[in-house]
């Protein structure tokens, strides 16, 4: 998910239930929503100017959308799985479930490079939802309640945050959503089937 110009954009998953939608971040009300084809499993999204890229898990298809209407503009193929994606202002950064982050051209979606992510010298896999902020890449780590901050120049994790204390009670899944609040050092975070979106501030953001 991403917060841009007062609108929270969110892609949802599961075959036959995947959507792209725009929400009011203060109320959670859905302002616009479009469904993906029933055989598509939607994953990460990122806003690039007047468009949105939405990737799919195992379909190997990225969908470019009009940000205002959410209408599909075109489809582009890629190799491997699609998990998370963000725009750092120069390039797209994409995860595929491994320890690799792939860099892509924001117009063509073609691969331009990659980096292996490590924490304490060991590869860190299952990098999921991504957010590019301040020259770093923030990522949920699937099946955990952790968010990590990654230096894309080296692939090294420079901070790890445990958000287990935010997890609601009841039938909810893991932490799986992060969006920077523009103009602040705060983020919106949530998880799969969570009824709540939390606004948080992380300690140590300036310590690399």
Using one digit for the tens of pLDDT, what is the confidence trace for 11-59? 987 777 899 999 998 888 999 999 999 999 999 999 999 999 999 999 9
Average pLDDT over residues 74-87: 97
- State the average pLDDT for the chain: 91
What are the Cα distances from residue 194, in Å, to 86, 174, 197? 22, 9, 8
Structure confidence at residue 206 (pLDDT):
54
Average pLDDT over residues 57-70: 97
Round to whole Å and give the CA distance between 67 and 31: 12
Q: Which residues contact 186 (CB under 8 A, 6 or more apart)?
A: 180, 199, 200, 201
SS3 label, residue 113: strand
Round to whole Å and give the CA distance between 11 and 44: 6
Structure confidence at residue 204 as a pLDDT band (50, 70, 90): low
Structure confidence at residue 197 as a pLDDT band (50, 70, 90): confident
Scan for tokens 């445990």, then name that residue: 162
Q: Please, what are the domains in the chain?
A: 2-201 (2.130.10.10)
Residue 76 predicted with pLDDT over 80: yes
Round to whole Å and give the CA distance between 176 and 127: 10
Q: Which residues contact 73 (CB under 8 A, 6 or more apart)?
A: 51, 64, 65, 66
Structure confidence at residue 205 (pLDDT):
63
Structure confidence at residue 172 as a pLDDT band (50, 70, 90): low
């Amino acid at each position: 998910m991403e917060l841009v110009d007062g609108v929270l954009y969110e892609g949802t998953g599961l075959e036959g239930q995947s959507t792209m939608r725009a929400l009011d971040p203060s109320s959670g009300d859905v302002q616009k929503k479009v469904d993906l084809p029933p055989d598509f499993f939607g994953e990460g999204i990122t806003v690039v100017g007047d468009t949105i890229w939405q990737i799919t898990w195992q379909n190997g298809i990225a969908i470019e959308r009009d940000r205002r209407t959410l209408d599909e503009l075109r489809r582009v193929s890629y190799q491997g799985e699609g998990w998370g994606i963000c725009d750092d202002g120069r390039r797209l950064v994409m995860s595929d479930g491994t320890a690799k982050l792939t860099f892509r051209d924001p117009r063509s979606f073609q691969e331009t490079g990659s980096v292996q992510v490590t924490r304490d010298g060991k590869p860190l896999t299952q990098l999921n939802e991504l957010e590019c902020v301040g020259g770093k890449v923030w990522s949920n780590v699937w099946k955990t309640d952790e968010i990590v901050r990654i230096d894309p120049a080296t692939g090294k994790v420079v901070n790890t945050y445990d958000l287990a204390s935010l997890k609601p009670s009841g039938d909810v899944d893991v932490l799986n959503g992060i969006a920077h609040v523009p103009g602040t050092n705060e983020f919106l975070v949530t998880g799969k089937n969570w009824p709540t979106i939390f606004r948080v501030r992380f300690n140590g953001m300036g310590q690399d």
